[in-house]
């Protein structure tokens, strides 16, 4: 578990404070573990929009993927347990039914044998139901935020997965189990293609509603040192880097626009809720990040941003 001082909302506050020295900026992390897109819509309605944020930063995807939808050609359904097929039937049966057997085999590393490739096909010929639902609800989130006067910023989602990724059980045991157990038989390259499908839905929603899109995924290094636990949860170093990417984008393409009405970024310009440029006294920004919502509050007469965060800056 990460402490608050290892999360990207914490680092985002630091980055924004450096970019706008002399302004008091506070980012409040109100993240919720395991939330999917439907949960985030309700959190937006009940907890975020009542705060009247000027900016909402949305960063999510992973909890909405129904992985079995993307796999075809398995001889029998086994997703999540496919790695057990390399063991005798009795071994798999005991592993599923006995917590003691599970504990003993894990303690001695008996479950960490690398499984051989399993014949299957990745079905990405059309938008699967989970990706379609993600796009529909994300559109509703964008529509509701915009209708309430908030400038919403959609983003791409970062993952370690890429073609040719290899992981050592000795060096990264948790990531190893993600690659060779939980998502097996999908290869890292196939997992990356599924995440790309969801990022395409976010980008399409940004185009549809003419809102800024922070495409951070291509800029983020696919290096295991920036990840913890699995393909998508970041280490403190990864959270720091993600916060820097978001802060730079917000400062350049959103906050700068709120102040001047002009942007040096090709993303559509953001607009401050109902106030003429350069005449506002305070703003709030809220961001919906991975598996959660984080808020930021910055007391600064200008603009703010955060990670489902609420920000109120002064005189940006």
Residue 84 counted as domain residue: yes
Which span out of 112-126, 128-142, 252-266 was modeled with the highest average pLDDT? 128-142
Least confident of 48-52, 82-86, 199-203: 48-52
pLDDT given at position 17: 84
3-state secondary structure of 227: strand
State the Cα–Cα distance between residues 259 and 280, nearest whole angstrom. Answer: 9
Percent of the chain topping pLDDT 70: 77
Report residue 137's pLDDT band, with 50, 70 and 90 as the boundaries: very high
Residues 235 and 182 in one domain: yes
Question: Any idea what the CATH number is for the domain that residue 66 is in?
Answer: 3.40.50.1110
Say how many C-beta atoms besides its own lie within 10 A of residue 40's C-beta: 25
Residues 22 and 162 in one domain: yes
Phi, psi (deg, nearest 5) at residue 25: -125, 125
Residues 53 and 197 in one domain: yes
Report residue 222's pLDDT band, with 50, 70 and 90 as the boundaries: very high
Residues 132 and 281 in one domain: yes
| Residue 25 or 292, more confident | 25
pLDDT given at position 233: 93
196 exposed, middle or buried (CB, 10 Å; 0-12, 13-18, 19+)?
Answer: middle
pTM of the model: 0.83
Beta-strand ranges (E) seen in 109-250 are: 121-122, 151-155, 213-214
| Residue 93 or 294, more confident | 93
Residue 13 counted as domain residue: yes
How many residues can be counted in the chain?
Answer: 316
Residue-range definition of the domain harbouring residue 97? 74-119
Report residue 291's pLDDT band, with 50, 70 and 90 as the boundaries: very low
pLDDT given at position 3: 66
Q: CB within 8 A of 226, min separation 6: which ones?
A: 160, 220, 234, 235, 237, 238, 241
Say how many C-beta atoms besides its own lie within 10 A of residue 313's C-beta: 30
Question: Quick check: 150 pLDDT over 90?
Answer: no
pLDDT digits (tens, 9 = 90+) for 172-194: 999 999 999 999 999 999 999 99
Report the pLDDT averaged over residues 291-313. 35
Residues 101 and 201 in one domain: no
CB 295 within 8 A of CB 31: no
Residues 82 and 147 in one domain: no
Instruction: Share the mean pLDDT of the chain.
Output: 81
Q: How many domains does the chain have?
A: 2
Question: Quick check: 127 pLDDT over 50?
Answer: yes
Question: Quick check: 88 pLDDT over 50?
Answer: yes
State the Cα–Cα distance between residues 69 and 76, nearest whole angstrom. Answer: 14
Residue 290 counted as domain residue: yes
Residues 153 and 115 in one domain: no
State the Cα–Cα distance between residues 23 and 18, nearest whole angstrom. Answer: 9
Residue 310 counted as domain residue: no
Question: Quick check: 131 pLDDT over 60?
Answer: yes
Residue 198 counted as domain residue: yes
DSSP states of 45-73: IIIIGGG--SEEEE---GGG--GGGGEE-
pLDDT given at position 265: 46
CB 304 within 8 A of CB 23: no
Report residue 309's pLDDT band, with 50, 70 and 90 as the boundaries: very low
State the Cα–Cα distance between residues 186 and 176, nearest whole angstrom. Answer: 13
Report the candidate in 30, 26, 34 with the shortest Cα–Cα distance to residue 60: 34
3-state secondary structure of 61: coil
Report residue 1's pLDDT band, with 50, 70 and 90 as the boundaries: low
Cα distances (angstroms) measured from residue 280 to each of 184, 275, 302, 309, 316: 52, 6, 6, 20, 9
Beta bridge partners of 72: 121
| Residue 268 or 197, more confident | 197
Phi, psi (deg, nearest 5) at residue 282: -160, 155
């Amino acid at each position: 578990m990460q402490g608050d001082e290892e999360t990207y909302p914490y680092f985002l506050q630091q980055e924004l404070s450096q970019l706008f020295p002399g302004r008091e900026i506070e980012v409040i992390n109100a993240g919720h573990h395991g939330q999917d897109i439907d949960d985030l819509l309700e959190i937006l309605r009940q907890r975020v929009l009542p705060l009247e944020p000027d900016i909402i930063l949305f960063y999510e995807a992973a909890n909405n993927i129904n992985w079995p939808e993307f796999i075809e050609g398995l001889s029998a359904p086994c997703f999540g347990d496919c790695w057990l097929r390399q063991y005798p039937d009795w071994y798999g049966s005991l592993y599923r039914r006995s917590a003691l057997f599970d504990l003993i085999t894990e303690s001695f590393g008996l479950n960490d044998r690398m499984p051989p490739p399993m014949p299957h096909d990745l079905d990405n010929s059309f938008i699967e139901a989970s990706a379609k639902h993600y796009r529909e609800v994300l559109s509703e989130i964008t529509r509701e935020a915009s209708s309430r006067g908030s400038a919403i910023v959609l983003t791409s989602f970062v993952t370690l997965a890429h073609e040719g990724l290899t992981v050592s059980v000795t060096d990264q045991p948790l990531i190893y189990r993600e690659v060779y157990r939980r998502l097996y038989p999908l290869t890292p390259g196939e997992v990356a293609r599924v995440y790309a499908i969801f990022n395409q839905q976010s980008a399409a929603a940004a185009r549809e509603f003419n809102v800024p899109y922070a495409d951070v995924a291509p800029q983020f290094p696919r290096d295991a040192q920036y990840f913890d636990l699995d393909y998508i949860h970041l280490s403190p170093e990864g959270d720091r880097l993600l916060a820097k990417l978001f802060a730079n984008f917000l400062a350049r393409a959103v906050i700068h626009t709120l102040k001047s009405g002009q942007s040096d970024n090709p993303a559509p310009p953001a607009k401050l809720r109902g106030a003429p440029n350069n005449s506002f006294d305070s703003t709030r920004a809220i961001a919906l990040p991975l598996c959660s919502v984080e808020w930021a509050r910055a007391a600064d007469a200008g603009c703010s941003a955060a990670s489902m965060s609420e920000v109120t800056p002064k005189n940006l």
